[in-house]
Amino acid sequence: MKFGIVTFPGSNCDYDAFQAVTDILGEEATYLWHKDHDLQGSDVIILPGGFSYGDYLRAGAIARFSPIMREVAAHAKTGGPVVGICNGFQIACEAGLLPGALMRNSHLQFVSAEVRVRVENSDTMFTNLYDRGEILRMPVAHGDGRYVAPADVLEELEAEGRVVFRYADAGGNINADANPNGSERNIAGIISEGGNVLGMMPHPERACSPLLGSNDGVRLLESILARVAA
């Protein structure tokens, strides 16, 4: 399976994603330049973390208009898997691939830390190798990670099982102390209506080796492999 990793000017987790796919997962990966118009036959698209276009105007607002995003949107529309991580989540929201938006952290500080997330739905293209309720450890590194959406959209996400990850403490409790950025309902990751676009602020690609503190992110990539290759 081929993973296409989009590099925007200012992306800084593209190499981490590339390494996770090639070294850990053992699959093929290719970088897709933001000015390209071709996904080069990629089966899965990763919008990586970073600070595309310097976060000018709003995080992800300009990247959304990169030429490659037209192809990414078309890929998503036909059910192709897209994973937006951190800045990639912000870009996916700005592009309308996912509902809601990411705003400045409620405490106004950049947060770089390991957090815990609880798997809320294990019946998705991205989480089928996790158990529901399982607690995962992954790093976060962002200044604009507070997920917000209108009340009716939040209700819809909850009702349809589209809240995939929630910030939680070690015991699996969802509370304000476990919430690193003030996200509504501790939301850390959501999927699109079609279930094929995932957006999340934590970094699974940086949680792929015990050497780096956690390998809880590996099964996210393996889940895609299991579902898409099946």
Partner 1 sequence: MAKFRIAVHITPRKGLLDPQGNAVRDALRTLGFNAVKDVHVGRYILVETDAYDALTAEDAVTDMCAKLLANPVTEDFEIESAVPA
Options 71, 94, 120, 205, the catalytic residue: 205
101 binds partner 1 (CB under 8 A): yes
103 binds partner 1 (CB under 8 A): yes
> Site for partner 1 (CB under 8 A): which residue of 66, 105, 186, 214?
105
Strands (E), the chain: 2-7, 28-33, 44-47, 82-85, 101-103, 111-119, 135-142, 146-148, 163-167, 187-191, 197-200
Options 86, 93, 94, 208, the catalytic residue: 86
Tokens of 140: 């976060």
111 binds partner 1 (CB under 8 A): no
CA atoms of 32 and 8, how far apart (whole Å):
9
CA atoms of 107 and 105, how far apart (whole Å):
5
Tokens of 3: 């993973």
Active site (annotated) includes residue 203: yes
> Site for partner 1 (CB under 8 A): which residue of 54, 67, 133, 150?
150
> Site for partner 1 (CB under 8 A): which residue of 54, 65, 123, 133?
65
44: β partners: 3
**Hey, which residues are catalytic here?**
86, 203, 205
Return residues touching partner 1 (CB under 8 A).
Answer: 57-58, 61, 65, 93-94, 99-101, 103-108, 146, 148-150, 182
